[in-house]
Amino acid sequence: MPPVPSECCFPLSAQLVPFETARLTAAALALPLNQREDVPLACAAGRILAATIEAPRALPSFDQAAMDGYAICLSGRTGVPLVLPVAGRTSAGDLPGVLAPGTAHRVMTGAALPEGADTVVTQEQATRRGDLVRFGFDVAPGTHIRKAGEDVAQRSAILQSGRMIGWAEIALLAALGIETVPVVRRLRIAVLSTGSELRSVGAALLSGAIYDSNGPMLAAMLSGPNAHVTPLTVRDDQAAIADMLKSVARSADLVITTAGMSVGEEDHVRDAVMKAGGHLDVFKVAMKPGKPLAFGKLAEACFVGLPGNPQAAAYGALSFVRPIMATLLGEAPARRIAAELAFTCSRKPDRTELVPVSLQVERGRLTARRSGPDGSHRIMPMVSADAIVIVPGASQPAEPGTLVEVLPFDRSCFRG
Ligand code: AMP
Ligand code: MG
């Protein structure tokens, strides 16, 4: 029989670290990679900016018509309505024209404002008769012009280093004519599913075995434009786990294991981390689900040991792996958001509850509804959820209406 892991190997084992302390410790575990690469704009979506971007030009970069209509010069004039001859025409894309004194100049939306014009009158406010146009009383000087620089001033810092590039940022960079974008290099993450019961999807399943769902789940959750995930599996064997940890730590920025984190007879991960030369800063967090959860360093790589039950593994990743990844990427901190509970959440004073919820606006407030029954082995409550809520410990249940922090499954909609 394999030896029972000894508590004395872990001087911190007595400390059940509070959830919030563990979150801060996780974020501080890593240092920013500070490694940049330049990518074409078309490949920049979802990446993290590695430098602050200055606007090489103003936006708009020239005064332009905001509507289809007529450019005129109203300064110094009194006595609208006006009747003016139409002389000249500028469409979007044409070189800027010149407004001949005492005339109106036909312009289309986006056209450069002709030199000498100070107002655009919409075609709806004008009556055209042949080469003459008549404007009514409602013409206001200076209207319907997009002024150069009113959106973006030339040389202003428009996007800060650490910002995630979403579709709006892509629009901005494209409008400024920026072809290549400095981004932080992708993270290399190894996800090691431990457990002798695990089979990969596609393999035959004998009674007593299960398919590895944590590996595919974490690969799907964590891989993306900023991270490449390598999933691996290993049986419950201290030496085999240690060997694999040692080998993946050489080429990974972040090593994650699932299962085998507790002190049962087949829980070997903590000993294996030590054996592989790593150390753990935290290895029990006061949370439900997911108490047996450790993190520390394995050579230069950050290490997170997640529990085996799918909800415990997932919520540990949302709570701790994502902050570590954000630090490595130098990403601006995600905004924290809160919702009101729509259910009574039982709790205990000494631990934080993480509960899967679906979110929706009810009576004008963002409201969190529990998405399934208790049980960290269940997968269906996650499938029905948008987020988890973080319910701090207390001796009384959290009643409906209590405001709690939300960790969205898809965090890109609340980026910093
Ligand atoms: P453990 O943390 O090793 O005690 O595992 C807790 C529970 O999670 C057990 O029922 C395991 O069979 C299950 N489990 C462990 N690893 C995985 C995995 N990769 N995918 C799905 N379930 C798992
Ligand atoms: Mg196990």
Model confidence pLDDT, tens digit, residues 182-236: 999 999 999 999 999 999 999 999 999 999 999 999 999 999 999 999 999 999 9
Residues with beta carbon inside 6 Å of ligand 1?
193, 195, 197-198, 210, 212-215, 258-262, 307-310, 377
284-337 pLDDT, tens digit each: 999 999 999 999 999 999 999 999 999 999 999 999 999 999 999 999 888 899
CA of 354 to the centre of ligand 2 (A): 22
CA of 202 to the centre of ligand 2 (A): 21
Tell me the three state secondary structure of residue 285.
strand
Q: Whose CA is nearest to atom 16 of ligand 1?
A: 308
Q: What pLDDT does residue 139 have? A: 86
- CATH entry 2.40.340.10 includes domain 337-414: yes
Task: Please give the mean pLDDT across all residues of the chain.
Answer: 94
Helical axes 19-29 vs 322-329, angle rounded to 10°: 30
Measured CA distances, 177 to 38, 103, 111, 174, 318 (Å): 15, 35, 19, 5, 36
Q: Residues 180, 183, 184, CA angle at the centre, nearest 5°?
A: 160
Q: Taking a C-beta distance cutoff of 8 angstroms, is the pair 175, 146 a contact? A: no
Q: Quick one: tokens of 354?
A: 């993480």
Atom of ligand 1 nearest to the CA of 292: 2
Q: Whose CA is nearest to atom 23 of ligand 1?
A: 308
Q: What pLDDT does residue 82 have? A: 87
> Which ligand is located closest to the Cα atom of residue 313?
1
> Which ligand is located closest to the Cα atom of residue 262?
1
CA of 22 to the centre of ligand 2 (A): 23
In the chain, where does the domain assigned CATH 3.90.105.10 lie?
Answer: 43-58+152-184
Q: What pLDDT does residue 78 have? A: 61
In the chain, where does the domain assigned CATH 3.40.980.10 lie?
Answer: 10-35+187-329
Residues with a beta carbon under 5 angstroms from ion ligand 2 = 195, 259-260
The CATH architecture to which 43-58+152-184 belongs is Alpha-Beta Complex (3.90)
CA of 309 to the centre of ligand 1 (A): 5
From 192, 199, 210, give the residue whose CB has the most ligand 1 atoms within 8 Å, as the site to mutate.
210
In the chain, where does the domain assigned CATH 2.40.340.10 lie?
Answer: 337-414
Q: Taking a C-beta distance cutoff of 8 angstroms, is the pair 164, 412 a contact? A: yes
CATH entry, 10-35+187-329, from 3.40.50.300, 3.40.980.10, 3.60.20.10, 3.30.540.10: 3.40.980.10
> Which ligand is located closest to the Cα atom of residue 196?
2
At the top level of CATH, the class of 64-146 is: mainly beta
CA of 302 to the centre of ligand 2 (A): 22
Query: Which DSSP letter does residue 152 get?
Result: B
Q: Which of 33-37, 74-78, 139-143, 155-159 has the lowest mean pLDDT?
A: 74-78
Closest C-alpha to 71, from 42, 110, 18, 34 = 110
Q: Whose CA is nearest to atom 11 of ligand 1?
A: 308
In the chain, where does the domain assigned CATH 2.170.190.11 lie?
Answer: 64-146
> Which ligand is located closest to the Cα atom of residue 197?
1
